[in-house]
């Protein structure tokens, strides 16, 4: 296994740092700094690793291979009203956010779906698990979660890979240990833009525009802008940016066709880069905006049904015996998907849930407790699990699941945040993007969409880049 980060001198690190900063600032590998009076005009380098991180080639290929299976699984579950009802009615009694989403789903279903087509831009996240005595190359992927809404860093992850290939080409990383063929490129910018273009073309209006629904004051706007620019340059499609509140204030539906208009502009695709967290709905106006879009003829990316499928409870239920087989008939595909699952346990009133609760009170160090939330910073670890469980009623526990902690191998890297270097022992998480378009009757496309590697110090439990825990990295296949 390569050990690039420890093979260079401090002087060589400074050369790499200066080259990396110039490359990042020249190529838009940037984010806005935390909120200040001048933050709307200033940028800093996106948090990145200085070196690519070793990742087992077989594990990488396994993750890429099963992504289309996960894409199809998300869609098939979204079509199963009984399965969603079974899970969401229980969650709705203890999780107000899930309840609002599920109520919205039920309302739109009752009124009648205006747009049968749906677009998924998904990302399945994995950590590699190394069993005792195993060689690094034999480590296997274990799924952390499936993200079905507002998957981020597709653009900046592509640029980080480009950065590492640039540093290798210009400096060789001051070593002969790195083969450029071991640095796979990620086409996630092009893939996501192409998926939006496919949905726009399926909508069928040359004058309509794609709408990206964004958060106010978005720090990660440049990751989003690359998709916008690619959509215009390569597909001739204009994208506009609106918040949920702006959709509510300026949106309307055509009374006959239910076409969505923002002002006088017809919208072909509503692409969400927000709407996944409670903080995205500070008032009822934001819920009004989400409902207006969901009722409309615009193709949603995702539909609220796809978003519900991305909850942690669905992930846990699918891991139970016989549940995955409700949606996947091919035994080879079932085996490939199940091989990526780690231990997942309910915290409900069932015998399995009660057993998991008792086990967590006795030994929580090998578990992570997860609510139905996205965006990083929400999970509970170690002794905090026991403390939290003791404060919850049996009913409230149902809002969470337990998952076995995955313990990946530790490597060394140098992290670059806001121009400063930090040498660190790190672990990494691989995300594989998927693009899925269904017209209501058949699959239009089901593709891989590139990949993302996030790397963090071993002292950090959480893994979100936007939440400040991790940096963007790229894969060095070994």
Q: Is 274 annotated as a binding residue?
A: yes
Q: Is 270 annotated as a binding residue?
A: no
Q: Is 180 annotated as a binding residue?
A: no
Q: Is 147 annotated as a binding residue?
A: yes
Is-contact 120 302, C-beta < 8 A? yes
118, 147, 186, 413: the catalytic one is 147
Q: Is 273 annotated as a binding residue?
A: yes
How far, CA to CA in Å, does 463 sit from each of 244, 314, 418?
A: 27, 21, 18
Question: Is it true that the peptide bond before 96 is cis, omega within 30 degrees of 0?
Answer: no
Q: Is 230 annotated as a binding residue?
A: no
C-alpha span between 401 and 312 (Å, rounded): 7
Q: Is 71 annotated as a binding residue?
A: no
Active site residue 420: no
Q: Is 456 annotated as a binding residue?
A: yes
Is-contact 301 271, C-beta < 8 A? yes
Q: Is 465 annotated as a binding residue?
A: yes
Q: Is 454 annotated as a binding residue?
A: yes
Active site residue 147: yes
Active site residue 241: no
155, 370, 449, 463: the catalytic one is 370
Residue 411 token pair: 């490597």
Q: Is 185 annotated as a binding residue?
A: no
Q: Is 401 annotated as a binding residue?
A: no
375, 412, 423, 446: the catalytic one is 375
Q: Is 403 annotated as a binding residue?
A: yes
Residue of 276, 275, 199 lying closest to 244 (CA atoms): 275
Q: Is 293 annotated as a binding residue?
A: no
Q: Is 157 annotated as a binding residue?
A: no
Q: Is 152 annotated as a binding residue?
A: yes
Q: Is 145 annotated as a binding residue?
A: yes
Q: Is 114 annotated as a binding residue?
A: no
Q: Is 211 annotated as a binding residue?
A: no
C-alpha span between 70 and 360 (Å, rounded): 29
Active site residue 343: no
123, 209, 290, 300: the catalytic one is 123
92, 142, 145, 286: the catalytic one is 145
2, 78, 152, 194: the catalytic one is 152
Active site residue 454: yes
374, 397, 431, 448: the catalytic one is 374
Q: Is 374 annotated as a binding residue?
A: yes
Q: Is 462 annotated as a binding residue?
A: yes
Is-contact 229 256, C-beta < 8 A? no
Q: Is 151 annotated as a binding residue?
A: yes
142, 312, 313, 397: the catalytic one is 312
124, 454, 464, 474: the catalytic one is 454
Q: Is 353 annotated as a binding residue?
A: no
Residue 396 token pair: 């409230």
Give binding residues for substrate as ranges: 123, 149-152, 218-220, 224, 273-276, 454, 465-466
Give binding residues for ATP as ranges: 145, 312, 370-379, 381, 403-406, 429, 456, 462
Give binding residues for Mg(2+) as ranges: 145, 147, 374
Catalytic positions, written as ranges: 123, 145, 147, 152, 312, 370, 374-375, 454
Give binding residues as ranges: 123, 145, 147, 149-152, 218-220, 224, 273-276, 312, 370-379, 381, 403-406, 429, 454, 456, 462, 465-466
């Amino acid at each position: 296994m390569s050990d690039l980060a420890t093979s260079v001198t401090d002087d060589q690190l400074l050369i790499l740092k200066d080259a990396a900063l110039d490359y990042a600032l020249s190529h838009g590998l940037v984010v806005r700094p935390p909120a200040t009076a001048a933050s709307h005009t200033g940028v800093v380098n996106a948090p990145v690793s200085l070196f690519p991180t070793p990742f087992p080639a077989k594990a990488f290929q396994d993750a890429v291979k099963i992504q289309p299976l996960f894409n199809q699984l998300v869609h098939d579950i979204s079509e199963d009203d009984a399965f969603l009802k079974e899970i969401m009615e229980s969650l709705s009694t203890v999780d107000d956010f899930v309840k609002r989403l599920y109520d919205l789903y039920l309302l739109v279903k009752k009124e009648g779906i205006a747009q049968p087509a749906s677009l998924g831009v998904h990302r399945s996240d994995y950590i590699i698990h190394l069993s005792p005595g195993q060689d690094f190359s034999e480590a296997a992927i274990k799924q952390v979660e499936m993200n079905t809404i507002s998957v981020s860093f597709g653009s900046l992850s592509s640029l980080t890979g480009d950065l590492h290939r640039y540093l290798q080409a210009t400096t060789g990383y001051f070593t002969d240990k790195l083969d450029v063929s071991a640095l796979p490129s990620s086409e996630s910018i092009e893939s996501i833009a192409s998926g939006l273009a496919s949905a726009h073309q399926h909508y069928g209006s040359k004058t309509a525009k794609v709408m990206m629904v964004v958060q106010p004051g978005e720090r990660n706007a440049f990751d989003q802008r690359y998709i916008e620019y690619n959509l215009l340059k390569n597909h001739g499609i204009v994208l506009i940016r609106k918040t949920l509140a702006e959709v509510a204030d300026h949106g309307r539906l055509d009374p006959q066709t239910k076409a969505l208009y923002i002002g006088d502009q017809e919208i072909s695709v509503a692409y969400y880069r927000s709407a996944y967290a409670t903080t995205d709905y500070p008032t009822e106006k934001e819920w009004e905006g989400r409902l207006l879009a969901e009722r409309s003829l615009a193709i949603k990316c995702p539909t609220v049904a796809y978003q519900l499928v991305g909850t942690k409870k669905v992930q846990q239920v699918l891991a139970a015996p016989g549940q995955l087989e409700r949606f996947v008939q091919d035994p080879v595909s079932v085996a490939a998907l199940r091989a990526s699952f780690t231990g997942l346990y309910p915290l409900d009133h069932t015998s399995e849930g009660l057993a998991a609760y008792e086990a967590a009170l006795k030994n929580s160090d090998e578990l992570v407790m997860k609510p139905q939330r996205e965006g990083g910073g929400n999970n509970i670890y170690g002794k905090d699990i026991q403390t939290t469980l003791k404060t919850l009623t049996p009913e409230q526990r149902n809002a969470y699941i337990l998952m076995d902690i995955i313990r990946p191998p530790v490597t060394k890297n140098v992290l670059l945040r806001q121009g400063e270097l930090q040498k660190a022992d790190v672990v990494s998480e691989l995300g594989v993007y998927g693009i899925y378009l269904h017209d209501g009757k058949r699959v239009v496309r089901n593709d891989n969409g590139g990949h993302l590697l996030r790397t963090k110090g071993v002292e950090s439990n959480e893994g979100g880049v936007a939440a400040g825990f991790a940096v963007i990295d790229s894969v060095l296949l070994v």
